[in-house]
Amino acid sequence: MPIRPFLTLFRQKQLGAMVASNALYKPFYTLSYLAALKTSGLMDMLKDQTYPFEDLVKIYTNGDGAKSKEALLAWLQMGCRLRLLRRNGDGYTLRGLAKKMAQPENDAALALSQEVASLHHKLIMETPAKLRAGELWTLGNQDGELTTRSSRALEAFQLEALRRYLPKSGPCRLLEIGCGSGIYIKHAICLNPQLTALGIELQQDAANVALRNILDWGLQDRAEIEIADIRTMQIDPTFDVATLHNNIYYFRLDERVAILSKIRTFLKPSGSFLLTTCCQGGNPGIEALNLWGASNAEGDRLPSVGEMVKQLSEAGFMHVNTMRLIPGDSFYAFCAK
């Protein structure tokens, strides 16, 4: 192997940048390919069986053109090169990380990978141009169903907050604002056998996911799902607990105190409010969430911990307790009376 080209690049101070950037390519390609496997439907097809190439040609190409077959073969070959697909005498199947991600228990991690490869990538690439054009992102740029799936990546940590702050016994009426998939309503019902819940959701596609899940889980006698905007809805103060899980950034910074104050009016005098949220100063994924909120016409940036406590106090809540849910990271629970 000739070494002269490397020496030339080193003398021209180009080698370091080339080596460092090259190390980023494979993780980027792998993440993108994982997302494409799922969105194309191929991950679900190959999860439990092998598909011959000619069968894939019939599914993924419009006709029998040689060029289309060549393109599909190149796409599948890249998956093999990334060790996400395996080709044998019978055809193609999943391998490695793709096989692991296809399992139902890893769907939240898969959805988060899809979100990073699509929404987060778009945010990073296109936000400067949008700002120069005087534009902001909207909720329409978000896939509500994908978000409900990816949000479950935080489920184990948010469950700890529910275990700590939710009443474990006795009649309890729960209001969950932005219920997503409905999974935290399910957890709350399991934690307290006398609890009933109303989940509200702003986006139709997200509400549809919650409705389907509540029916699938057989919880329709203990939980209701409604499409509503907390800013305009009217509810009597009949709730013992209200929860707002990781979506305070859907509200503008200057309206949050008013929103929190309104939530307080939905609670009984002895009621409590549990808010979980990513805060300022987190990992790159949290920074992407902060970017989405800050550049969204209908939302705003993530709060700091001190700012969140201050806003809860200004909204009339007392005895605000904070709990870091992920060691070393900026994901917190705030429980206020």
Of 204, 258, 267, 268, the residue nearest 231 (C-alpha): 258
* pLDDT tens per residue across span 209-221: 899 999 999 999 9
* pLDDT tens per residue across span 46-99: 998 999 999 999 999 886 678 899 999 999 999 999 999 999 988 999 999 999
What is residue 114's DSSP assignment?
H
d(CA 8, CA 15): 9
State the helix-helix crossing angle for 183-191 and 204-216, rounded to 10 degrees: 40
Query: What does the H/E/C string look like for 267-293?
Result: EEEEEEEEEEEECCCCCHHHHHHHHHH
Q: Confirm whether 4-102 and 145-336 share one CATH topology.
A: no
Longest dimension (CA), the chain: 79
Helix (H) or strand (E) holding 154: none
Number of residues that this document lists for the chain: 337
Strand partners, 87: 92
* pLDDT tens per residue across span 268-285: 999 999 999 999 999 999
* pLDDT tens per residue across span 150-190: 988 899 999 999 999 999 999 999 999 999 889 999 999 99
CATH of domain 145-336: 3.40.50.150
- Which are the contacts of 27, defined by CB distance < 8 A and separation ≥ 6? none
Instruction: Find where tokens 């002895």 sit.
Output: 270
Average pLDDT value for the chain? 93
Instruction: Find where tokens 């509500």 sit.
Output: 144
Query: What backbone phi and psi angles, to 5 degrees, belong to 291?
Result: -65, -45
Phi-psi region of 273 (alpha: psi -120 to 50; beta: other; left: phi over 0): beta
- So what's the architecture of 4-102 in CATH? Orthogonal Bundle (1.10)
The domains of the chain are located at 4-102, 145-336
Angle subtended at Cα 129 by Cα 123 and Cα 134, rounded to the nearest 5 degrees: 105
Residues of the chain above pLDDT 90, percent: 77
Phi-psi region of 96 (alpha: psi -120 to 50; beta: other; left: phi over 0): left
Strand partners, 322: 334
Alpha helices, H only, 87-151: 96-101, 107-115, 121-132, 144-150
Tokens, residue 229: 């905007």
